[in-house]
Amino acid sequence: MFNKILIANRGEIACRIVKTARRMGIATVAVYSDADRDALHVEMADEAVAIGPAPAAQSYLVIDRIVQACRDSGAEAVHPGYGFLSEREAFAEALAAAGIVFIGPNVRAIAAMGDKIESKKLALAAKVNTVPGFIGEIKDAAHARRIASDIGYPVMVKASAGGGGKGLRIVHKESELEQAIRSSQNEAKASFGDDRLFIEKFVTEPRHIEIQVMGDKHGNVIHLNERECSIQRRNQKVIEEAPSPLLDAATRKAMGAQAVMLAKAVDYDSAGTVEFIVDKDKNFYFLEMNTRLQVEHPVTELTTGLDLVELMLRSAAGEKLPLAQKDVKLEGSAIEVRVYAEDPYRAFLPSTGRLVRYRPPAEGARDSVTVRNDTGVYEGGEISMFYDPMIAKLCTHAPKRAEAIAAMERALDEFRIDGIRHNIAFLNAIMHHPRFREGRITTAFIAEEYPDGFHGRPLDTAAKQRFASAALSAALKKAQRRGGPIQDFVVSLDGEAIDAQARPIDWEPGESAMRMDGVTIQLAPVTGGWRLSEGGMETVAIVRRKRAAELAALMPAKLAADTSKVLLCPMPGLVVSINVAPSQQVKAGETLAVVEAMKMENVLVADHDVTVKAIRAQKGDSLALDDVIMEFA
């Protein structure tokens, strides 16, 4: 076994690898960019090496700097995590040339399966069902139009070296194709250093179900059951679970057998994931293979009792797999949600800044329920615009799926983040959604259930009473502590008067959460009251003395500023392109500009017909939230 390994990554996955290495007695080396000098993974590792400026293309994606960091630190092997260089054949080759072990599959497997185009060709040769499409690289826009026309819309434009939703666009009509190609190429180049694209048919009503495989250097390959990853937004996974609520034992066995067969075809010898599209009738089609550890690997670990990072380390060190296929367990149900630094109330735009408060729920096992939180941040740390917006991966495990969902609801209610916007309310709303609870999900779930965006889980009568009672109870307790009057209070929720009754609460003034009626309610002070949230629902409760409420009702309403004459930058980011010029007439739906933030390109389109008056930003500008990009006549 290795004495020291280098982790060529950052964030939560780097921290997660450190934990297993530490348990195995292996020393760890972190690498960091200028933006990550004070990051948690740097603090957790035994030593750390600086590798360059903040942009990933100048640090985490520079192979020579990673190899040099290995030489400088004496690391014998490198774990690449996911993303960055994890599926780059050239990286594995450079490490081998330097006498450093790559903790991942052999170079041939990376080349054949890590490349989405080559993997499809291999799957076809092995008689594995694949999604209809053109098995080859797009030459130019005209070539893409011919392919898409032959296949039939909708189609998917995908980066050959892609993953994590980067470099992927669904195109419903020809007029969208060229912009999709440009954005996919730009994202792929920035994230993977490879802008090759291909096109395949987009299967309607699909479910995304993947099989985890594990191999060693002695020809042994097994599968570790499946993960359902159908809850996605913009083709990026949001919620994952194991096992899938769709599959039966026979389908699981058939999918696993195909995944193992495909892996054995390239002598696969590490952790990898074979992804399938599955229709409602349980027909499955090979989509691609990821030759690395997946973001969602914890749900597999929770349902099998295995440590996938440990298995990768042992395989890389030449050890045989410690179990056979018949030994693989499937116990209980696990769910993972990705907590992102994004604002679900503003079209999920990225949110950057300082984590003023970061208080995750308590981890560990209790009453047959396990809570796990993989993270790479800490209270007081900074969420950077340069990298993926993930804050944490929160997981729950229980004997039954319904119990795991209930545990996740409680854990999300207990998760407190202040200083930036986050998607916890959105995640909790999905946990409460009847369709999700019933397992009737597809990759279009979010688009179908939230077609106009997320506006919070609606408050029913019981929720209104609960929030109003919580606000009143908090106000009374606060007044009692100050020795003030505790009569004649009036409660309103978002302007609506509610007849509330005080309840016993477990809360003290200044605390950010209270327990009432067996639930956790989070509250943050606002002028005259609190912002309350629970179960994906959120409201503002104002508590006033009766006379103060009467006077407040006479105050004129404050009107929102008119922003129809300007295009504001919706998030801190870098201007990729300005697509219009002064005096140009633009139709609704046409692209005005493209802004990149957290490795994703955001296309800003006109929501109505406009004439451009002036351009206030240019390509390459770094803009803050609500900076003016252009003005309209």
| Catalytically annotated residues | 288
Q: Are 516 and 502 spatial neighbours (Cβ–Cβ below 8 Å)?
A: no
* Diameter of the chain measured on Cα atoms: 80
Contacts of residue 512, defined as CB under 8 A and 6 or more positions apart, other chains included, come to: 357, 359, 416, 418, 522, 523, 524
Smallest CA-to-CA distance from 366 within 305, 410, 331 is with: 410
Burial class (CB in 10 A: 0-12, 13-18, 19+), 501: exposed
Contacts of residue 306, defined as CB under 8 A and 6 or more positions apart, other chains included, come to: 224, 300, 323
Sign of CA dihedral 61, 63, 66, 69: negative
Can you point out the beta strands (E) in 8-66? Answer: 27-33, 47-52
Percent of the chain as helix, strand, coil, to the nearest 5: 30, 30, 40
Whole-angstrom Cα Rg for the chain: 26
Where do we find the tokens 């130019």? 140
4-7/27-33 β-pairing:
parallel
Smallest CA-to-CA distance from 85 within 73, 70, 72 is with: 70
Q: Are 399 and 333 spatial neighbours (Cβ–Cβ below 8 Å)?
A: yes
Where do we find the tokens 């903040």? 54
Contacts of residue 248, defined as CB under 8 A and 6 or more positions apart, other chains included, come to: 282
The CA distance from 264 to 475, in Å, is: 65
The DSSP output letter for 133 is B
Neighbours of 622 (CB within 10 A): 12
Euclidean distance between the first and the last CA atom of the chain, given in angstroms as a whole number? 68
Angle at Cα 569 formed by Cα 563 and Cα 574, nearest 5°? Answer: 165
Q: Are 138 and 199 spatial neighbours (Cβ–Cβ below 8 Å)?
A: yes
Can you point out the beta strands (E) in 164-216? Answer: 166-171, 197-201, 207-215
The CA distance from 221 to 321, in Å, is: 8
Q: What separation in angstroms does the CA of 71 have from each of 35, 47, 76, 329, 330?
A: 23, 13, 9, 40, 41
Q: Are 4 and 76 spatial neighbours (Cβ–Cβ below 8 Å)?
A: yes
**Three-state DSSP string of 411-470:** HHHHCEEECCCCCHHHHHHHHHCHHHHCCCCCCCHHHHHCCCCCCCCCCCHHHHHHHHHH
Q: Are 110 and 90 spatial neighbours (Cβ–Cβ below 8 Å)?
A: no
